[in-house]
Chains A and B, each alone.
Chain A
Amino acid sequence: MTEEIKLSARLDALVRELGAGNVAALSRCITLVEDGEVGSALRRAILPLTGGAGIVGFTGAPGVGKSTLVDAYIAELRRAGLSVAVAAVDPSSPISGGAVLGDRIRMHRHTGDAGVFIRSIASRGHLGGVSESIHWTIDVMDAAGRDVIIVETVGTGQSEVEIAEIADVCVVVNAPGLGDDVQAIKAGLLEIADVLVVNKADMPLANLAAKQLKGMLKLREKPRQDVPLVTTSATRGEGVAEMHSVIMARMAVVRGNRAEMRERRMRRLIAQAVGSLSRRLVLDNSNDETEALMKTASSGEITIDEAARKILNRIASDY
């Protein structure tokens, strides 16, 4: 048997186990799917099995009680008879590339439940946001037959924009009394929210926070004002059932555009890759022409933007 055929047979077996709901297979596939030959073959193999899951993103500033809310939401989903997979994302150290992943602790009570699969994911150098591989991780969880896939990230860096492109429904979580209430909802986060949640509803300032958010929404143009706002108390399990119905309602509307969303995400990922590749080219390589260009830019004769365009044209023609 040639290597290729051997791999293909092995992957077929693995994908069958994955589709049958085998947890070990699900776990292995997440590891394998990222890159290399095995990864790329696996990605192709699972594609036909995807499309069934609904993807919900949860993001928000640290300290809002996101993980506790996700934990309560998982319980709600299980009560509704749905199977769940969670991708809990934590940032990798930009220096060492390593990470300490502690999010899943908040969801600990679900550990014994085979209907809940939780995977801790490090952002792996993607500037505090999610890495490309999360896209494939979600595909694997989808192919495994999970009804709802939750992606949880901290709302810092670029991750909020990325979450919006991965998730069908993006839930932005806020909490009262985090110091500067207005600052707690950065403009970027408000933009991407399909559902707004004010957690810690048992706290005195919760109503005020909800009012402030509603006020900010009203400043938008008409159609985009319509973002449902739910108050919850994750520790008490209050408001979670309501949040679930709101999410499901939103999901029904959005699901039709999943393929389009996927393509948009791909385009952006490729653009980023082009960016970093050309960055490498400029930094690592030099010739007389580039040197001359640097000098003219240095002296201010041409702008940096102009210099960049010249180089891009050069790269394009070299390609």
Chain B
Amino acid sequence: MDATRPQSPVRVLVTKIGLDGHDRGSRIVAAYLRDAGMEVIYTPPWQAIEAVVALALQEDVEVIGVSSLATDHLIIPQLLSALRGAGLGHIAVLVGGIVPEDERAPLIEAGVKGIFGPGTSRTLVVDQVAQAASEARRLRNASFWENAS
């Protein structure tokens, strides 16, 4: 039995950590996801990593979309480990923005599920988020039953 009710809308946190403040891209992504029937918790830029973890916990999101420019991506692995530390390892983290080719490997190794550059189409964004959410739900459901006392 699925304790996560696939019928309920996917919940996504769209946020920016690090120092960059340009959020035109993340607003457009938020609109894409809303139009696809998802619920988007949208934050302004400059979120502290601890704040993102607290938000993800309270809002029970399945996916976190991080918009990244400049060198913000250098601290994304810290976000992934903070999420795991808080028992939120099932959440899928996707990165949108500009990440230089040579600096992607650490992100993938840290567990980032996908990196999307500017110009990624609406269809691709929505599909990838939906897929990632689906997997996150599966993991969450599995851990729900695992924690039976």
Contacts and interface: CB of A to CB of B under 8 A. Distances in A.
Interface in B1-24: 1, 3-5, 8-9
B35 A98 contact: yes
Contacts of A39: 5
Given A98-B37, A104-B41, A120 B59 contact: yes
A5 to B, nearest CB: 11
Contacts, number: 97
Interface in B91-149: 144-145, 147-149
Given A100-B42, A105-B43, A112-B50, A24 B36 contact: no
A161 interface: no
Interface string A166-199: 0000000000000000000000000000000000
Nearest to B38: A98
Nearest to A30: B60
Contacts of A102: 41-43
Given A3-B1, A23-B58, A38-B5, 11 more contacts: A23-B57, A37-B1, A38-B3, A93-B34, A96-B34, A98-B38, A102-B43, A105-B43, A111-B51, A119-B58, A119-B59
A309 to B, nearest CB: 35
Interface in B31-59: 31, 33-44, 50-51, 54-55, 57-59
22 contacts: A9-B149, A10-B148, A13-B148, A13-B149, A27-B58, A32-B4, A36-B5, A93-B34, A95-B35, A96-B35, A98-B34, A98-B37, A98-B38, A100-B30, A100-B40, A101-B39, A104-B41, A105-B43, A105-B44, A112-B50, A119-B59, A120-B59
A88 B35 CA distance: 21
B25 interface: no
A117 B148 CA distance: 25
Contacts of B145: 6, 10
The size class of the interface chain B forms with chain A is 20 to 34
Interface of A: 3, 6-7, 9-10, 13, 23-24, 27-28, 30-32, 34-39, 92-93, 95-102, 104-105, 108, 111-112, 117-120, 122, 124
